[in-house]
Chain A
Amino acid sequence: MRQIKASSLLETIVAMVILLTVFSISIVVIQNVLRTASMGDRTNSYFILEEELYKTIQSKKYFNEEIEKDQFKVSKQVFDSELSDSLLVIDLKAIDKKGVVLTSIRETILKDE
């Protein structure tokens, strides 16, 4: 009878263990990467906040407001600085649809700027 050369049981088991280990690691990594995808939103929201801050200073819109921007809501708070009445603080926050604050920036400016 002609014999066929095949993997032994041990060889197959080792192979399955390696494959399972690598797969499980890959899944963890991919999950992490998928979670990191929200960092893209975070970065985008950052640029939106920068743009809003620039517009606020240029057009001197020194009042509180909420602006809908793409998939975010930009919350703008303008208040007197604790350091002096001559200074204003502009505090901008980007909030996603779940109400989570993705990013925030703030800057102090001279009041009559």
Chain B
Amino acid sequence: MLKASALFIVIVISFLLASITSGIVYYTFYYKMQVANQQLYSKLTHNLNSGIAYALYLPESQSAVEKTIDLYGEENDKVIIRSSVWGVFNMASVSVRDRNVTLEKSFLYGYAPDKESNAAIHLKNSDRGLRLSGKTFIVGTCYLPQGVVKTESVDGYLYQGPTKLIDGEVIKSTETEIPVSQSIIKHAEELLSLNFQQSTQAPEKEEATFKDSLIHSFAEPVLYINYNDERLKQVTYLEGNVILYSSKHIDINKQLKIKDAIIVAPSVRFPDGYQGILQAICSDSIIVESNAVLDYPSALLLIKKNAANANPKIQLKEKASLKGIAFAYSKELNDTKVYVELRKESFVMGQVYSTGSIDCQGIVHGGLMCKTILLKTNTSINENYLLNTTIDVKKRSVYYTGSNLLPAKNKKRIIKYL
């Protein structure tokens, strides 16, 4: 017989209804929360992109500058922009915040080469035009002394390149120097003359960071590390907002992979087979041994400080590779001692600049800018000669972005996010 227990049945039904209802309530709450989160992140992402656009619009600052802007004048879309110089490139950090969410992006930016800095060869005017020997290929606009290019044998090598000596326009160069951004030079000189031990306080967390990997965010202040610091010996990977410095020559440890950091020393040598993405700022010499690969965006910046230094140079040995900028500079305008040497089979994708001379026997996908090209052979030194070399500006990546060290009128472009 059926038991007429109405209360019991109602409680069971109510329990079922309550369970379904609370499930729906939970689902709705969770859904609303996710939608709100998504909208918040979306708004912050758009504000971050807007901040990046604004940072690219701002003129370069040579010192660290922080600026807060209200994007739409409604007090709801505030963006903090910090801009500074990182080696030869400019750097900016953009951060946005709403409630407890903060989004931040740091990036390096520069300019695409333009006009003179986009030439395959830019030689300062002299009484000697360019001479080509052996298997030499040149593609791109060339600014040459007297607008002259000829073939001539050197050390027994006859010219064996294409009939059209230069695949591009040949323009007569002028006496005027290519203007160089003095602010970046000044910044680099300041780094070279900085007494790091006295002027910088190592961050408190420094002890904890010396593990096998040392990654220091660009959102934090620069971490200065003496290259001779014993603790650095256990580090095999170093990345980020770090300046490695030394008052003496640095022989980079092959096991230490460096990414995005800057090395400041009188001279530095990258060992055979070394790989990294870095900037080196030196006053005496930068040697990149055979098979070493410095990937984009790397920069080798040599600034002659000591007038007595007889041989300030950037040297890429056989099969060494640089993607970025090699820049050798002396304030003395007629100083031809400053030079860049690209040995046989070395490779550069980017720009090579020297206020003095360049000895180019390697392959350059990009351009050379200098006063003279010196070809040093076993028996002779020849001015404005190229032998068995390829200089092809069209093979440089269309996405290549250089520094504003060299003249560029194009708009700013992001080199990489850090």
Alpha-carbon separation in the docked complex, A46 to B14 (Å) = 39
- Determine if B39 and A46 form an interchain contact, defined as CB atoms under 8 angstroms apart: yes
Enumerate chain B residues within 8 angstroms of A7, measured Cβ to Cβ.
4-7
- Shortest beta-carbon distance from A21 to chain B in Å: 8
Q: Within residues 1 to 56 of chain A, which ones have a CB less than 8 A from any CB in chain B? A: 4-7, 11-12, 14-16, 18-19, 22-23, 25-26, 29-30, 32-33, 36, 39, 42-43, 46, 50, 53
- Shortest beta-carbon distance from B414 to chain A in Å: 11
Enumerate chain B residues within 8 angstroms of A50, measured Cβ to Cβ.
42
Q: Within residues 79 to 104 of chain A, which ones have a CB less than 8 A from any CB in chain B? A: 81-84, 86-87, 89, 103
Q: 1/0 contact trace for B22-48 toward A, CB 8 Å? A: 001100100110010011001100100
- Shortest beta-carbon distance from A90 to chain B in Å: 9
- Determine if A107 and B46 form an interchain contact, defined as CB atoms under 8 angstroms apart: yes
- A87 contact from B1, B4, B53, B73, Cβ within 8 A: B53
Q: Is A112 an interface residue (CB 8 A)?
A: yes
- Shortest beta-carbon distance from A62 to chain B in Å: 13
Alpha-carbon separation in the docked complex, A104 to B10 (Å) = 48
Q: Is A109 an interface residue (CB 8 A)?
A: yes
- Determine if A18 and B10 form an interchain contact, defined as CB atoms under 8 angstroms apart: yes
Q: Is B99 an interface residue (CB 8 A)?
A: no
Q: Is B115 an interface residue (CB 8 A)?
A: no
Q: Which of B24, B43, B50 has the most CB of A within 10 A?
A: B50
Enumerate chain B residues within 8 angstroms of A109, measured Cβ to Cβ.
49-50, 53
Enumerate chain B residues within 8 angstroms of A14, measured Cβ to Cβ.
7
- A5 contact from B3, B18, B42, Cβ within 8 A: B3
- Determine if A39 and B35 form an interchain contact, defined as CB atoms under 8 angstroms apart: yes
- Determine if A83 and B39 form an interchain contact, defined as CB atoms under 8 angstroms apart: no
Alpha-carbon separation in the docked complex, A89 to B11 (Å) = 59
- Determine if A26 and B21 form an interchain contact, defined as CB atoms under 8 angstroms apart: yes
Q: Is B69 an interface residue (CB 8 A)?
A: yes
Q: Is A113 an interface residue (CB 8 A)?
A: yes
Alpha-carbon separation in the docked complex, A39 to B54 (Å) = 33
- Determine if A19 and B54 form an interchain contact, defined as CB atoms under 8 angstroms apart: no
Main secondary structure of the interface of B (DSSP, over half): helix
- Determine if A19 and B10 form an interchain contact, defined as CB atoms under 8 angstroms apart: yes
Alpha-carbon separation in the docked complex, A19 to B14 (Å) = 6
- Shortest beta-carbon distance from B12 to chain A in Å: 11
- Shortest beta-carbon distance from B13 to chain A in Å: 7
Q: Which of B1, B10, B24, B39 has the most CB of A within 10 A?
A: B10
Enumerate chain B residues within 8 angstroms of A105, measured Cβ to Cβ.
42-43, 46
A contact residues, total (Cβ < 8 Å): 42
Enumerate chain A residues within 8 angstroms of B411, measured Cβ to Cβ.
110, 112
- Shortest beta-carbon distance from A67 to chain B in Å: 19
Q: Is A106 an interface residue (CB 8 A)?
A: yes
Q: Is A71 an interface residue (CB 8 A)?
A: no
Enumerate chain A residues within 8 angstroms of B399, measured Cβ to Cβ.
none
Q: Is A64 an interface residue (CB 8 A)?
A: no
Q: Is B65 an interface residue (CB 8 A)?
A: no
Alpha-carbon separation in the docked complex, A109 to B11 (Å) = 61
- Determine if A107 and B24 form an interchain contact, defined as CB atoms under 8 angstroms apart: no
- Determine if A82 and B73 form an interchain contact, defined as CB atoms under 8 angstroms apart: yes
Q: 1/0 contact trace for B350-387 toward A, CB 8 Å? A: 00000000000000000000000000000000000000
- Determine if A108 and B21 form an interchain contact, defined as CB atoms under 8 angstroms apart: no
- Shortest beta-carbon distance from A18 to chain B in Å: 5
Enumerate chain A residues within 8 angstroms of B72, measured Cβ to Cβ.
82, 89, 106
Alpha-carbon separation in the docked complex, A82 to B17 (Å) = 55
Enumerate chain A residues within 8 angstroms of B50, measured Cβ to Cβ.
106-109
Q: 1/0 contact trace for B332-354 toward A, CB 8 Å? A: 00000000000000000000000
Q: Is B56 an interface residue (CB 8 A)?
A: yes
Listed from nearest, the 5 A-B pairs whose CB atoms lie closest are A108-B50, A15-B10, A7-B6, A6-B4, A22-B14
Chain A residues in the interface with B (C-beta under 8 A): 4-7, 11-12, 14-16, 18-19, 22-23, 25-26, 29-30, 32-33, 36, 39, 42-43, 46, 50, 53, 81-84, 86-87, 89, 103, 105-110, 112-113
Given A18-B14, A105-B42, A107-B50, 18 further pairs, Cβ under 8 A: A5-B3, A11-B7, A12-B6, A15-B10, A15-B11, A19-B10, A25-B21, A36-B32, A39-B31, A46-B38, A84-B54, A86-B57, A87-B57, A103-B39, A108-B71, A109-B53, A110-B53, A110-B56
A-B contact pairs, 8 of them (CB 8 A): A7-B5, A26-B20, A36-B32, A46-B38, A53-B46, A84-B57, A106-B46, A109-B49
